Each structure stands twice: as structure tokens, then as C-alpha cells.
Amino acid sequence: MRASTAMSTAALAALSLTVAALAAVPATAAPAAATAAADTAPGTTAPAGFVGMAPKRVLDTRDSNQVPETRTARPLQEGQYFSTPIATGCHSHPPQECYGVVPADATAVVVNVTVTDPTADSFVTVSGTPGTPGTKPATSSINFRAGQTISNLVTVATGPVNRFVPWLTLYNNAGTAHVVLDVVGYYTPTATDKYGPLTPTRIADSRDNGTAGRLRGDEMRSYLVASPELGTADATSVILNITATEGTWDSFLTAYPTGTIRPTNGSNVNFPAGTTVSNRVVVPVGPDGRINLYNHAGWVHVIVDVVGYYGPSGKGLFSALKTPVRAFDSRNGNSVATGSTEQVQAVPTDGSVPNAMGVETNITATNVLADGHLTVFPGPGQAPNTSTLNVRAARDTSNSATTAVTPEGRFSVFNHGFGLDLIADVNGYYVTG
């Protein structure tokens, strides 16, 4: 196939590997667990501001040169907890240290997680908390099927500082899988940029111009993301949901600020030909208020929704949960019906998280009856004309969402498709400060 030939030379550089045929059976979803966010508030990090950055690769288990601690290329094993520094390398001779990507006082990190070459339907969980062998996490960060290459942006509290840098821990539930981590930002108490919530707004949809609007292979297109009309006039970074659809080849999209060189490592949306795939993207804004979006191969339609920003006029500092909690799981009750809106209680009701204005959450759809999409928005009321998670029949799919919440600490999820089960894992809270 042309797609296989085209992608063979770029697989290691940008992670858009040819995707194997997938059987039409449900993947292994994250474990069902009692919801917790509405009742208790586990430990959180100190409220912190945001620092955006160009993607920086800190782990690639396929390449021994990009496994900082062990320098050994090996996929994650079934049931394995794997800890890694947020660094590009380490050395053992005195003084023992690593080449850090984020400062030691970083409270949380924003990382694009890509899984490739998995041998089984499974999930990977990313956490700042070292795991206990023989147990499995109660939440998931990315769900995937055997043979699939897929990415998800994850915001997670950093782990203990070791060798002068924070660490993260990964857990793989079944089979083996290679994992790649690209850091795109972090939170620290000294940073001055804060979160600004927005009503999700669609700023680009190449389908509006028919086939002429598609991005070609090796094409870059820029988009205005900082403007008074969007409420993002002083944004230093923006939070987007980017969707690729109707691609003619297996490919990937990379977002980066205008006025900079496109990163050689790092992709934001990995998609096989003929599918619809979305991913949350956090990207610094160029000096002209724009960002670039690059398509590697083939032709593809691209949809861009702005869902939030970081900047001096933002109001929210981020407080990460040291252990993410499951706030909602419809498998414990009734599934989400066609055309219905589900309100998720994301902030504890006991007053332990005062002044919460938004949340970082991971949304997973499972037991999906037909292709469709979900929209996350603050609510209540009518859902905006945007998408957060594109779902496919009989497949588990995940995507992160950054959203404001109501005064009661809730956000809404509207189901544009047929019935499915919905899981929401909360990774942290934005609080006014």
C-alpha cells in the first residue's frame, strides 16, 4: 500500500506508524471503580501557574538513546510499573543527576502520551505516584487496541524528585506496548500565566471548502488563535481540540507556534487513513497571535476548536491531584443515551476544593454502539458546535478535556451519537488565584 511505504521512513521520527487491521471487539476499558470526586478530595499540589514549551521528548521505549535512566529499549510489559525521569538523559557518576526538562519545583507536567505497537487491547496510566506491584491503578490515561498507534495529552502531578528532576510512573495493563512521552508544558508556583476558561469555539473546519480545503502532505497552515474576538487577546499558550478526518494516508499532525522551526520530534494527532481522530493540544502562541499546523503525508481534513488559554489575564491556578480520581462511570448505573447531556460532578461537594473554576479530566467512551462524538462544555444549556472525543463502534476511546465548571463544580458532556458508557477521571482543579 502507498500508505505503508510512505510512513516507513518516518515512523521513529514522528510516531505515525502503519496501523494494523483491528478486530471489531471492545478493548479492555479502565477498571470499573466507585466514583470518588463528589465525596472526597485526595491530596493536591500547591496552586501553580503555567509555562508552555515546544515539545521535548523525554521517553521513547523503542530507542535506547531515549530511555534516560536505563538506556535499554524495551516495551512496557503486562502489569508493569515503569518509572522514568522527566529528562533527556541521566548519568550515574558523582554527582548523580539527570538532564531535566522541567524544573525541580514543577508541580505538574503536560505530556503528550503516544502508544505504539501494542500486542493486546489495553490501557496505560501515567501518574506521579510510584505504583505497587501486583495492583492496578483505578484510572486510565490512554486506551488502545492491539496494533494501534494513538496519542492522548495528559496533565499529571509530578512524582518525587530524584537525581535533581521530577519523575513519572507508567503502568501498562495487558500485553506489551511501546510508549513515547513528549512534554509540552508544566506548572510551577513561580509562573505568572494562568488558565482562562472559554466557551469552546470552532475556528477552522477545512471541510467547509470541500476537498480543496484539505491539507496536503508536507503542508503547513497557520491559524489565528489569539484575538479579542475569541477572548484570547493576551494568550501566551492556547488549549485546542484538533480533529483529523478523511485522511487518505496514515499520517500525523504537529502544532507549533509561528516564528519557530517545526519540531523534528513530536506529533499531536496520529491517525490512520479513513478514520476520525481528535486530541487535545496545548501550544504556545507565535508573536503574530497564530499557530502552525503541519500534516505529514496524504490529504486530510482538519478541524480546530479553541477551548481555553493561558496568559496574564487568566484567573485559574492549577492544583493537581497527586492520585487522579474517577468522578463518573456510567457502567455503575445507566449508559449515556442518544442526544442526551450528562452532568458530571467533578469537584468534591464537601468544600475541600474552594474556588474551583475548572478541571483537567480524561474522558473515555466504552461499550459504544455506533460512530459519533461527544462534546464537553461547562453547562448547563445547549452544547456548542464543537467536539471533544470522536468515538467508534465497539472501541474504547479516550481524550483529555480542559473545561470550566459550574458554581456547583459540574461540567456537561453531550452525546451526539448513539448509546455508550462514559468514564471521567479527574486529574486536577483550576482554582481562582
Q: In terms of pTM, does the model score above 0.95?
A: no
Cell output for 416: 451526539
Query: Using an 8 Å Cβ cutoff, are 110 and 103 in contact?
Result: no
- Output the pLDDT for position 114: 94
Residue 31 binned pLDDT confidence (cut-offs 50, 70, 90): low
- Give the integer Cα–Cα distance in Å for 227 and 231: 6
Residue 6 has pLDDT above 80, yes or no: no
Query: Using an 8 Å Cβ cutoff, are 324 and 294 in contact?
Result: no
> In the chain, what percentage of residues exceed pLDDT 70?
90
Residue 381 binned pLDDT confidence (cut-offs 50, 70, 90): confident
- Output the pLDDT for position 332: 86
Query: Using an 8 Å Cβ cutoff, are 197 and 70 in contact?
Result: no
Task: Give the residue-averaged pLDDT of 165-180.
Answer: 97
- Output the pLDDT for position 93: 80
- Output the pLDDT for position 131: 87
Candidate ranges 39-53, 153-167, 258-272; pick with highest mean pLDDT: 153-167
- Output the pLDDT for position 30: 54
Query: Using an 8 Å Cβ cutoff, are 423 and 398 in contact?
Result: no
Q: Which helix (H) or strand (E) holds 391?
A: strand 389-391
CB atoms within 10 A of CB 176: 17
> For the chain, how are helix, strand and coil distributed in percent, rounded to 5?
5, 50, 45
Residue 34 has pLDDT above 50, yes or no: no
Task: Give the residue-averaged pLDDT of 178-183.
Answer: 96
Task: Give the residue-averaged pLDDT of 381-390.
Answer: 92
- Give the integer Cα–Cα distance in Å for 210 and 63: 40
Give the model confidence (pLDDT) of 326-376 as tens digits. Answer: 999 999 888 999 999 999 999 999 999 989 999 999 999 999 999 999 999
* Burial environment of residue 1 by CB neighbours within 10 A (0 to 12, 13 to 18, 19 or more): exposed
Higher pLDDT, 183 or 14: 183
Task: Give the residue-averaged pLDDT of 137-144.
Answer: 92
Residue 37 binned pLDDT confidence (cut-offs 50, 70, 90): very low
Residue owning grid cell 522551526: 261
Residue 254 has pLDDT above 60, yes or no: yes
Query: Using an 8 Å Cβ cutoff, are 195 and 140 in contact?
Result: no
- Output the pLDDT for position 25: 33
Task: Give the residue-averaged pLDDT of 38-51.
Answer: 76
- Output the pLDDT for position 29: 58
Task: Give the residue-averaged pLDDT of 179-190.
Answer: 96
Residue 287 binned pLDDT confidence (cut-offs 50, 70, 90): very high
Residue 417 has pLDDT above 50, yes or no: yes
Q: Which helix (H) or strand (E) holds 170?
A: strand 165-172
Give the model confidence (pLDDT) of 89-134 as tens digits. Answer: 998 888 889 999 999 999 999 999 999 999 999 999 999 998 888 8
Backbone angles phi, psi at 292, to 5 degrees: -100, 150
Give the model confidence (pLDDT) of 203-231 as tens digits. Answer: 999 999 887 799 999 999 999 999 999 99
Residue 24 has pLDDT above 80, yes or no: no
- Output the pLDDT for position 211: 75
- Output the pLDDT for position 59: 97
Residue 136 binned pLDDT confidence (cut-offs 50, 70, 90): very high
Average per-residue pLDDT in the chain?
89
Give the model confidence (pLDDT) of 289-326 as tens digits. Answer: 999 999 999 999 999 999 999 999 999 999 999 999 99
Candidates 424, 338, 331; CA nearest to 376 is 424
Task: Give the residue-averaged pLDDT of 24-49.
Answer: 58
